[in-house]
Amino acid sequence: MLLYNIESIAKKLQSDSEVLSHIEHMATRGAGREDKLRLYIKDLLPQKFSVGNGIITDVNGTQSKQQDFFVYDAFNSPVFLKYETSIVIPVESVYATVEIKSTLNKNTLSQSINNIKSVKELKISALINSPFIPNYHNQIFGSIFAYTSENKIETIASNLQELCKSVPKSNQPSIICILDQGNIINVDKNGLKQICTMPSEQTTWCITKNKEEINLYVFYLLLQQHLNTTKNFPPDLLAYANNSHALDGLQLVVPKEILPDDASISLGDATLTGEELKFMDEYKDIFFKVSTNQLTAEDVIAKGISADELVPICKRYTDLINKTLFPK
């Protein structure tokens, strides 16, 4: 049943592409093809996934290049910025990115590889609360989808090998789909039969040539297989806020009435406990009057302390001042 649906989508994609080919403005033509592919793929995905286009960013503020199409967590992903049809989202929420090309050649292939690399290089700062962590988490499926190519798929595979020489395996594409020719996928080097969704040192490129519906089917299968086997953890939003200095002006005040005794507060190079701070606040007036020879018997009585307690209190206050001014 799914294959019949994919076959229908493949025909629609080609039909839409032919209609859009009559638009002379290249950017408009390309945007139309991107929109069609996003729409069809979204309809095939479970509801927990959403699709979009725009910029992907990380906790350090580094941004990817503009992405044609990405799949992200529909339930847990914040959208940092939305402008017209483009969005900016955290890398932790992204499952896959797809570079869409009307026609693939060596130049557009190089651009696509660099765009995918710009996403995979981003730093991931995820909130992981579970002791169980799956083998595959927060990995991004990088792919290229082209309606056609100026060259044979064998030439594109050769170009791919050349262009990826200086790109780490982990940052390389997972699949290149040329709709009217075939797919370039990763297979295990041992036996050359096991299809792999993620490139690694144990994989190599392999070419498959089929009809359009099978080519799209393979592309979808690898994408969905990745989505099924990868767990994404939510972004650490406090880390994003801190690193972007969004909280720099935030004032944190803990009233002394609720300050825990075992709290620790840094004062320059010194560290005082909550109990020590409350002690200093409690007896600051007494210590000031002792230091300036203004203390009276009425002051001591009003404070509810005895003359015998006064000396230890002043000594401890002096010690805490010295601890603050001359930390060890």
Report the candidate in 292, 197, 210, 235 with the shortest Cα–Cα distance to residue 57: 235
- Specify the pLDDT at position 39: 76
Q: How many Cα atoms occupy the beta-carbon half-sphere of 276 within 13 Å?
A: 19
Q: Are 232 and 73 in contact (CB under 8 A)?
A: yes
What is the per-residue pLDDT for 25? 46
First-to-final CA distance of the chain: 75
Tokens representing 327? 């930390």
| pLDDT tier at 136, thresholds 50, 70, 90 | low
Place 110 in a pLDDT band, splitting at 50, 70 and 90. very high
Of 128, 81, 142, 131, the closest CA to residue 232 belongs to 128
Write the pLDDT tens digit of every residue in 44-92: 888 999 999 999 999 999 999 999 999 999 998 999 999 888 999 999 9
- Compare 119 and 213 and report the one with higher pLDDT: 119
Give dist(CA 161, CA 164) in Å, integer. Answer: 5
d(CA 132, CA 13): 41
Percentage of the chain exceeding pLDDT 90: 66
Is residue 2 scored above 70 in pLDDT? no
> What is the pLDDT of the chain when averaged over all its residues?
88
What would the two tokens of residue 68 be? 């044609």
Task: Please name the residues in contact with 111: beta carbons below 8 A apart, sequence gap of 6 or more.
Answer: 99
Cα separation of 157 and 150, whole Å? 13
Q: Which residues pair with 72 in a beta bridge?
A: 50, 94
For residue 180, how far is the Cα from the chain centroid?
34
Q: In the predicted model, is pLDDT for residue 18 greater than 80?
A: no
